[in-house]
């Protein structure tokens, strides 16, 4: 027995040392290099970027099956909440309306929504315009009496705010053409809107508000890139009068109706094509 | 002498076990990897999504930044190879056109791309 122990001791000692040396080498000196990882192993910010791209790709392709497969690749147990959270962050960070909208749409399709994010969904009233921080008061305009002696005393002096004139809405875009089309190829009348920059280039992601007596819808240019990045459209109902404007600022173009017309293909309803062009920047 | 020999045998066996454990059984797990560490399939997926986003917002600068995140030494050549592979594999033409629109910006074109690019141009 003693002899056996005498033999085992050096073997076990060597074994233990060897294992430690092996682990040190494989964990610290030459660890396994992961070069073929999946999206779920990405760093948090890269995951967010990946999720944002999924929402944009879905907006471009309208293929929900593919979007779901991509979302599944992130292996997030609550992907709906994560997407909604990302949409909220995008709002807080002042990201573009289209970016917020793409995330809001995916979150909504996943069953997650919040009142703030829902404003950016298509068909909702336009979100309130962002108030520039420079005109926001940094202190309350009036001091409230302290309810208890132990509460934090309110500041005694406040800077007064000069009354701000009501800003006149700036016309960022102007209607450059309005065309009525008796379309021979299409039975449904379309309200087509094209938004162009001051240089005549298509503007994608421009928000177009369409209102009528019974409702409103917000369209975004660029969803049909094959027809132009600044293009968007919707089918009009006969007998309804529509008004169109750009939420970025434009005149309101009203009285748009799908009235009957006669084309070579027979009786049709009139489509309307509006082209908005960005106003030339004027010197103050 | 015999003890030393036994200790060396133990050490060698232990080192072998240690390597086996460290590389195969309990390898170092990376949870915070970057885009370049993605498997080629996901890299291709990422590039298609970047192309789709570019198609949506027309912001080439941002698309270029996103492509740069792949950290490929020659992004143009990488994109060209990806387009060729996608065409050969009969991938969705829309996805291929997204990729070609970015290849165009990088000044990369090839005969294989032409039919898809022409559809895009037309």
Long-range contacts of A81-88, Cβ-Cβ distance < 8 Å, separation of 24 or more: A81/A112, A82/A51, A83/A51, A83/A55, A83/A107, A83/A110, A83/A112, A84/A112, A84/A113, A84/A114, A84/A117, A86/A48, A86/A51, A86/A52, A87/A117, A87/A120, A88/A114, A88/A116, A88/A117
Q: Helices in chain A by DSSP H: which ranges?
A: 2-24, 44-61, 64-73, 79-92, 97-109, 115-118
- Residue from A96, A98, A118 nearest A109 by CA: A118
Q: What's the CA gap between B17 and A33, in Å, rounded?
A: 20
pLDDT tens readout for residues A39-57: 998 989 999 999 999 999 9
Q: What's the CA gap between B12 and B28, in Å, rounded?
A: 22
pLDDT band for position A171 (cuts 50, 70, 90): low
Residues of A in contact with B46 (CB under 8 A): 50, 53
Q: What is the mean pLDDT of chain A?
A: 76
* CB spacing of B57 vs A17 below 8 angstroms: no
Nearest to B22 among A12, A22, A39 (CB): A22
Q: What's the CA gap between B74 and A276, in Å, rounded?
A: 40
Q: Which of A133-137, A262-266, B17-21, B106-110 has the highest mean pLDDT?
A: B106-110
ipTM of predicted assembly, 2 dp: 0.77
pLDDT at B89 over 70: yes
Residues 4-23 of B with CB under 8 A from A: 4, 6-23
pLDDT of amino acid A284: 43
* CB spacing of B46 vs A46 below 8 angstroms: no
Q: What's the CA gap between A170 and A90, in Å, rounded?
A: 25
pLDDT tens readout for residues A234-250: 888 888 888 898 888 88
Across the range A151-160, mean pLDDT stands at 38
pLDDT band for position B60 (cuts 50, 70, 90): very high
């Amino acid at each position: 027995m003693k002899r056996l122990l005498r033999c085992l001791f050096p073997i076990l000692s060597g074994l233990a040392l060897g294992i430690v040396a092996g682990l040190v080498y494989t964990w610290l000196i030459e660890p396994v290099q992961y070069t073929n990882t999946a999206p779920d192993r990405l760093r948090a910010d890269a995951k967010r970027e990946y999720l944002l791209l999924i929402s944009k790709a879905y907006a471009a392709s309208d293929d929900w099956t593919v979007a779901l497969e991509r979302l599944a690749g992130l292996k997030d147990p609550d992907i709906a909440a994560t997407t909604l959270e990302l949409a909220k962050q995008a709002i807080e960070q002042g990201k573009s309306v289209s970016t917020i909208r793409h995330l809001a749409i995916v979150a909504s399709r996943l069953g997650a929504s919040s009142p703030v994010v829902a404003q950016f969904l298509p068909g909702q009233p336009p979100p309130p315009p962002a108030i520039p921080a420079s005109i926001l008061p940094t202190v309350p305009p009036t001091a409230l009496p302290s309810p208890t002696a132990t509460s934090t005393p309110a500041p005694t002096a406040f800077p007064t705010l000069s009354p701000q004139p009501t800003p006149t809405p700036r016309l960022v875009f102007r209607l450059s053409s309005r065309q009525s089309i008796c379309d021979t190829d299409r039975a449904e009348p379309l309200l087509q809107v094209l938004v162009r920059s001051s240089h005549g280039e298509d503007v994608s992601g421009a928000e177009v508000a369409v209102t009528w007596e019974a409702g409103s819808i917000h369209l975004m240019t660029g969803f049909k890139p094959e027809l132009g990045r600044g293009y968007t459209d919707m089918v009009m109902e006969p007998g309804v009068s529509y008004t169109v404007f750009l939420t970025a600022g434009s005149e309101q173009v009203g009285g748009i109706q799908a009235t009957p017309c006669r084309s070579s293909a027979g009786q049709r309803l009139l489509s309307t094509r509006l082209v908005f062009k960005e106003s030339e920047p004027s010197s103050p | 002498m015999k003890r030393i020999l036994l200790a060396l045998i133990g050490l060698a066996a232990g080192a072998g076990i240690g390597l086996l454990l460290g590389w195969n059984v309990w390898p170092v797990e990376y949870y915070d990897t970057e885009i370049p560490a993605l498997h080629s399939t996901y890299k291709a997926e990422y590039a298609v999504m970047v192309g789709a986003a570019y198609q949506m917002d027309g912001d080439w600068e941002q698309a270029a930044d996103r492509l740069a995140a792949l950290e490929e030494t020659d992004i143009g050549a990488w994109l060209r190879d990806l387009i060729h592979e996608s065409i050969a594999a009969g991938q969705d033409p829309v996805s291929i056109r997204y990729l070609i629109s970015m290849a165009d910006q990088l000044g990369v074109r090839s005969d294989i791309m032409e039919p898809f690019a022409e559809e895009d141009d037309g």
